[in-house]
Amino acid sequence: MMNNKKEIKELHEIFLKHPKITTNSKAVENGDIFVALKGEKFDGNKFAQEALDKGAHLAVVSDKNLNVIKEKRFFLVDDTLKTLQDLGNYHRNYIGMPVIGITGSNGKTTTKELVNAVLSEKYRTAATYKNLNNHIGVPLTLLEFPEDIDLGIVEMGSNHFGEIQTLVNISNPDFGIITSIGKAHLEHFKNIEGVKKEKGSLFDFIKTKKGLIFVNLDDENVAEIGADINQFSFSFKGNKQADIQLKDISEKPELKIKLNNTEIQTKLTGKYNLSNLGYAVAVAKFFNLSDEEIKNALEKYVPKDMRSQIVEKDGNIIILDAYNANPTSMKAALENLLKLQGDRKIAILGDMFELGENSAMEHQEIVDFAKKNNIETYLIGDNFKKNNSNFPKFKNVNDFKQKIKLVDLAPATILIKASRGMKLENILG
């Protein structure tokens, strides 16, 4: 049974010769190491032999009933998930590169992408793929890191207390970023103080390790929990204590910022993305990139995956921000919509999930904000359907598409935003 460092080391030596891990038996390729994860509704052990038959070099399993004597390519352990996490941690420490850990209520993935974009101008970097940021995704991310990288960037997500602590123990970060503290996953965190406590686990780890955090001094919540930790900071609001002073000089929907005498025209929209840009600049300056290198990286970066993407369709300018949503990010997106140019501004909003007992109140507050600011609004989903307003309401995306055509709304600037499960991007398809 695997329960000590010696056996993790043994598995890692096999991994170095067969450096591709998969947890999906259907995706097994020749030479892979298959890890048979076990959940409430599935058991990867049942597919371990199939994985070997497909060409896997090894199957890490926890079912004692498997014939490990006959099939020498079974690697029997007590807990396959814990083994995956320990292996990820071992590989991270084996490489020994500095790791930047990123968490927060909003902007994690965008900040991770921007930080990776700037650092890769000068260094060999590796970063979390898409948003593989949970207890399975983080060790898989670390195991994807090649031995010759200079810096690793690890995104960490959480919707239950204690998850960030687990992820920092796996990834062992030297540097930390908390992008924001907002109303996310309130079903479990209850309130902002709960979110602070959970996200703050990253800063607690960095403090204990005597590492360094990057801080947006304009964000009171983040500045507060990072106050007594070694830090490198930035400000867009002239905070004299900040190490980096930045200015927002945006003239179009896309953000334009100024760093010293260098103007940087980005392809990002939304004032809420200023903080994400600030973190990228601060990290880049700390790691000795020039203003010109930062400008080059940020101007090349194109937002994707439905995160503040600008799409022109049917005579409309569409801000496709449909990857995810919570009350904080949705209000910020509406505030940004109000600031954009154009005579007609429309918000197509879908339900926000994981808000627990606060759900009805939080959806109503969004509706009240839209109503107060005279935003033409269309609401999609069961949660928004229950609110008190005269805004048009729809069961789902198909219901909306049957009754509303985007071409009939033109010319307009349209915000499309909802939680991932609503799949609001299908409005465009």
Specify the pLDDT at position 317.
92
Specify the pLDDT at position 106.
85
Between these two residues, 414 and 253, which has the higher pLDDT value? Answer: 414
CA nearest neighbour of 275 among 319, 311, 223: 223
Beta strands across the sheet bearing 175-178: 125-127, 151-155, 99-103, 175-178, 212-216, 231-235, 244-248, 254-259, 262-269
User: Which of 95-99, 271-275, 319-323 has the highest mean predicted lDDT (pLDDT)?
Assistant: 95-99
Strand (E) positions, 162-308?
A: 175-178, 212-216, 231-235, 244-248, 254-259, 262-269
Separation CA 216–CA 224 (nearest Å) = 10
Specify the pLDDT at position 187.
56
Q: What percent of the chain is predicted at pLDDT more than 90? A: 77
**Could you count the other beta carbons within 10 Å of the beta carbon of residue 412?**
18
- Which residue type sits at 177? I
Please write the tens of the pLDDT for every residue from 258-292: 999 999 999 998 888 999 999 999 999 999 999 99
pLDDT band at 388 (very low <50, low <70, confident <90, very high): confident
CB 201 within 8 A of CB 167: no
Q: What is the mean pLDDT of residues 245-265?
A: 94
Q: What is the mean pLDDT of residues 166-184?
A: 91
Token pair of 33, please?
Answer: 């190491």
Q: Which of 3-7, 54-58, 164-168, 337-341 comes out lowest in average pLDDT?
A: 3-7
The CA–CA distances, whole Å, from 293 to 126, 259, 264, 288 equal 18, 12, 11, 10
Specify the pLDDT at position 25.
93
- Bridge partner list, 178: 103
pLDDT at 379 over 60: yes
pLDDT at 237 over 60: yes
pLDDT at 1 over 50: no
- Bridge partner list, 35: 60
Q: Give this prediction's pTM.
A: 0.84
List CB contacts of 113: < 8 A, sequence separation 6 or more: 127, 301
pLDDT band at 2 (very low <50, low <70, confident <90, very high): very low
pLDDT at 193 over 90: no
Please write the tens of the pLDDT for every residue from 348-365: 999 999 898 889 999 999
Specify the pLDDT at position 190.
58
Specify the pLDDT at position 233.
98
pLDDT at 333 over 80: yes
Specify the pLDDT at position 197.
84
What integer best gives the mean pLDDT of the chain?
Answer: 92
pLDDT at 72 over 90: no
The CA–CA distances, whole Å, from 96 to 115, 133, 197 equal 20, 20, 29
Per DSSP, 154 falls in state E
The single residue listed with the structure tokens 């359907």 is 385
Q: How far apart are the first and last CA of the chain?
A: 51
The CA–CA distances, whole Å, from 283 to 50, 245, 394 equal 45, 13, 43
Alpha helices by DSSP H, listed for 249-404, are 274-286, 291-300, 327-339, 359-372, 382-385, 397-403
Handedness of CA 284, 331, 201, 12 (dihedral sign): negative
Per DSSP, 218 falls in state T
CA nearest neighbour of 154 among 171, 135, 140: 171
**Could you count the other beta carbons within 10 Å of the beta carbon of residue 197?**
14
Specify the pLDDT at position 188.
55
